[in-house]
Amino acid sequence: MSIHDDIARLCLDGELVHVLPIEQWRSVERDVFASKEVWEFLKGNDPDPKFQTVGLRAYRQVERFICGRSVVFGMDPLNKRSTSLIARNHDVKLGVVDVRVNDPQPAVRIFGCFADKDVLVLLLWRSRKFLQAKGFASSVKRSQSKWIALFPHHSPLISESPHDYISGIFDIG
């Protein structure tokens, strides 16, 4: 069974949600799937009011990627631009990336993995404040564990070429 078949099954089972543009007339150029936790956050349904607006803003950032708009992709987890929307995390061999939402505050990171070129699966989110206190490593490991639970027979995409992750127009940051 392919990773695409597994994603389709997980969507049918309600474990993943296919994230579509907010405005339905926009075209889908890249696919994003979210865990239930991330989906509730993106819809602005966090119990903490300060994260409701951030979740909705994060949805807009993810939508940029979905609609094929130009994004900055941080290949080097230890040296990336502040404008990077998506960045690989250390340890790169785990295949975990994060979507970086810095505005509005509080800043958050949405962790996930690429299943294939232009197919991003978002697994969990953390506030930047939480990550400063606990470090990124535990969230990267947790993301890897969630990936393995969902896709025990498939590894996330890991490549040294950004063109293996994203098609269309993007910058390396």
Domain ranges of the chain: 3-172
> In this predicted model, what pLDDT tens digit does every residue of 56-105 receive, in sequence order?
999 999 999 999 999 999 999 999 999 999 999 999 999 999 999 998 78
Nearest CA to 132 out of 104, 107, 99, 95 is that of: 107
pLDDT for 97 equals 98
Q: How does DSSP assign 41-79, residue by residue?
A: HHTT--SSHHHHHHHHHHHHHHHHHHTT--EEEE--TTS
Task: Name the DSSP letter for residue 51.
Answer: H
The pLDDT confidence band at residue 140, using thresholds 50, 70 and 90, is very high
Backbone conformation region of residue 130, classed left if phi is above 0, alpha if psi is from -120 to 50, else beta: alpha
pLDDT for 132 equals 94
Mean pLDDT for 97-122 is 95
pTM, full prediction: 0.97
